[in-house]
Amino acid sequence: MTKNIHFLILFILLNILEFNVNLTKSNPQPQYPCQPPHHKYKFCNKKLSISNRVHSLISLLTIDEKILHLSDNTTSIPRLGLPAYEWWSESLHGIGINGPGINFNGSIKSATSFPQVILTAAAFNRTLWHSIASAIAVEARAMYNTGQSGLTFWAPNINVFRDPRWGRGQETPGEDPMVVSSYAIEYVTGFQQLNSKADKESSNGHVFGNTRRVLKEDDDAGDKLMLSACCKHFTAYDLEKWGDATRYSFNAVVTRQDMEDTFQAPFRSCIQQAKASCLMCSYNSVNGVPACADKVLLDKVRTDWGFDGYITSDCDAVATIYENQNYTQTPEDAVALALKAGTNINCGTYMLRYVKSAFQQGSVLEEDLDRALQYLFSVQFRLGLFDGNPAKGQFAKFGPQDVCTSNNLELALDAVRQGIVLLKNDQKFLPLDKRRISTLAIVGPMANVSSPGGTYTGVPCKLKSIRDGFHRHINRTLYAAGCLDVGCNSTAGFPDAISIAKEADYVIVVAGLDLSQETEDLDRYSLLLPGHQTNLVSALAAVSKKPIILVLTGGGPIDVSFAEKDPRIASILWVAYPGETGGKALSEIIFGYQNPGGKLPMTWYLESYSKVPMTNMSMRADPASGYPGRTYRFYTGDLLYGFGHGLSYTSFSSRLLSAPNRLSLSLGKSNWKRSILAQEHSRLGYIHVDEVPSCSLSKFFIHISVTNDGDMDGSHVLLLFSRVPQNIQGSPQKQLVGFDRVHVPARKSVETSLSINPCEFLSFSNDQGNRILALGEHTLVLDDIEHVVSIEM
């Protein structure tokens, strides 16, 4: 009897052991330093400051071991108990598959696919942006806990969408520096710190409000990170491959004026206000110097902006210094130059291969290695990687149950709802009454693509196409691709598409772009629809019983002026790359369950703009040469749709409740100097922003009432622009100084306020790269409101 009991106990223990082994295999735990017997090292002592711990660790490393840490894929150092670590993971609009730090082969098989950034930006909703970043962060930390990711992610992309042909414009928040800066702040703060689950939501599920919770401060307190975000690509990077120019060798010639008030502005905000812990330097050169080897550029980040995170190269951007740009004589010179300039880690193997020989030649010193490692290890310590078992840490609770949650999928759906832009709606053709539709035809190859997410997409929770979103509304839906693919180089599929168009009550055509037309390493040459797509749309419009609905995919602007002018095409919607919830959101808008409220975050140019050289980096127009300038701030030519364009099913009116008429600024100088400067500034018509130390005290508010004059609830995006009082050389035609999104019930009014810092938002850069604030009457424009604020000394 006793023998049988012992056997039974042994059998049970063996089964428990086997279960735990299998559980560990399916849910591998992340490797971490400071495990016994290595936990007695000084750098494992959590009671010490991070700087002391980092210094202790660096002092224990040999030269060869230090060099091993200069690559994104660091190898283990067993004698110190340091495991291998992969720095490169991606999280642009959800956990992506691009970086080697991510795998979906464990217990977490997928992650929430939020819409591509350009569509989320079209919502103009800061709280939505923050909520998405926080949701991605929780899923990222959950994947780390299951051994499927690291803690350092290389997002967001905050380059300004300068040229409409750029293949990666889809990854950005658009063309306006203020919007891009605001997005950077919301993404980084939401991603690096844990957001409260108490985000306010309106009754219809829209995310509004601004409730947040940051990490609790303990030990080294405010420096602690949940995850690390990386602002990229620094700087003036917005060309992949156009003509003979490629991103690996392109020299971006940028004026000091454009550098200050366009290209650098988002990065400055990302570092100073969002406190990003990583910065990625770009492939291209800036004014003749490779970005990852530009000491002046990278020193500015640390000395002027106070950056204390790590700087990584874009992948192989250290190699391109020698291999593509021919900036140095040897590979050793390239790695030495990058390290001394301030690049701390190389995505790739170039530093692994050449730093040792550069050290032996004397071009790299040990202090160069130590300086790089100081920044790298500091971020890892702030992430808690050296604080023991993460299973016992602050974020140990996150796991598979926190990924692809119903809340996250609803947030992704709401992001698409808020971002979709109604470009045209003749005679209020939309929304459709589905009760009067027996047959619906859907045409276009992009309509049948599962979860069209754009670049840097991961494995979606659910594989849903745009076409799938209509099945629950209409019993009989017909589908034909029309074109074999988005390139549409053949008309062989036209007859099938025309046949179902003739049969259906209504026709929806999904046209536009996909990653075969625009992506990393691929820019466009034309702004027209690819191949025969225009012919397909027109052919369907000619045979349809009623005017058709055109749905446009893609991140870049498309010249569809033919459709804008054609009365047979009643409505046009832009959905960009909406991800796995795109079909549901689009169908809800078309059938009137949701009211579109998105606004374009970039200018839609005509095809004639494709004649402008993509390599010309100038933002300002040059009438003498016929150069039209770029973006709504400086472009002087014809366009299809302007920045901020977007229609609704209802109508809104705005009323100014209060705003100052005059602002008086004082200069921070002694009385006699102030008197001389006042006379000089009166003559010039402007003051230098850095001469106004109290400018933040001059912040003012614009109080507005927004009324929904229609019979349908809706959200209205408020865009407040400013026009300078006089034509100072290089001043923008207008510039965005504030924005907000408000939800207004039918026949109701809502009040809101916009905060304006005059030195930050009403200023621009002069030709020396210094920010100036024009004196005199600034005209603030919002919808039909114009209000003048006079600025004086």
What is the spatial distance between Cα 292 and Cα 311, in angstroms, rounded to a whole number? 9
Joined together, the tokens standing for residue 451 give: 């979860």
pLDDT at residue 656, as a whole number: 98
User: Are 128 and 120 within 8 A, CB to CB?
Assistant: yes
Which residue carries 């290695």 as its tokens?
Answer: 369
Residue 96's φ and ψ, nearest 5 degrees, are -100, 165
The DSSP code sequence of 223-283 is G--SSB-EEEEETT---SEETTEETTT-EE---HHHIIIIISHHHHHHHHTT--SEEEE-S
User: Are 291 and 284 within 8 A, CB to CB?
Assistant: yes
pLDDT at residue 669, as a whole number: 58
* Helix intervals (H) in 506-553: 533-543
Q: Is 2 exposed, middle or buried (0-12, 13-18, 19+ CB in 10 A)?
A: exposed
Spans in the chain with pLDDT lower than 50: 1-3, 8-25, 194-221, 671-672, 675
User: Are 644 and 178 within 8 A, CB to CB?
Assistant: no
Measured N-to-C along each axis, helices 533-543 and 494-503 cross at an angle, to the nearest 10 degrees, of 30
DSSP 494: H
User: Are 56 and 42 within 8 A, CB to CB?
Assistant: yes
Taken in order 28, 34, 36, 37, the sign of the CA dihedral is positive
pLDDT at residue 124, as a whole number: 98
pLDDT at residue 166, as a whole number: 98
What is the spatial distance between Cα 96 and Cα 739, in angstroms, rounded to a whole number? 30
pLDDT at residue 21, as a whole number: 41
pLDDT at residue 17, as a whole number: 43
Q: Is 514 a catalytic residue?
A: no
Alpha-carbon separation of residue 653 from 481, 729, 735, 747, 755 (angstroms): 41, 35, 22, 11, 20
Among 512, 417, 429, residue whose Cα is nearest residue 469? 417
What is the spatial distance between Cα 773 and Cα 766, in angstroms, rounded to a whole number? 10
CA angle 464, 196, 202 (to 5 degrees): 65
- At 8 the three-state DSSP class reads helix
pLDDT at residue 668, as a whole number: 65
pLDDT at residue 683, as a whole number: 60
pLDDT at residue 16, as a whole number: 40
**Catalytic residue of the set 294, 314, 368, 387:** 314
What is the spatial distance between Cα 481 and Cα 127, in angstroms, rounded to a whole number? 38
What is the spatial distance between Cα 742 and Cα 790, in angstroms, rounded to a whole number? 28
* Helix intervals (H) in 556-653: 561-565, 582-590, 631-634
pLDDT at residue 695, as a whole number: 77
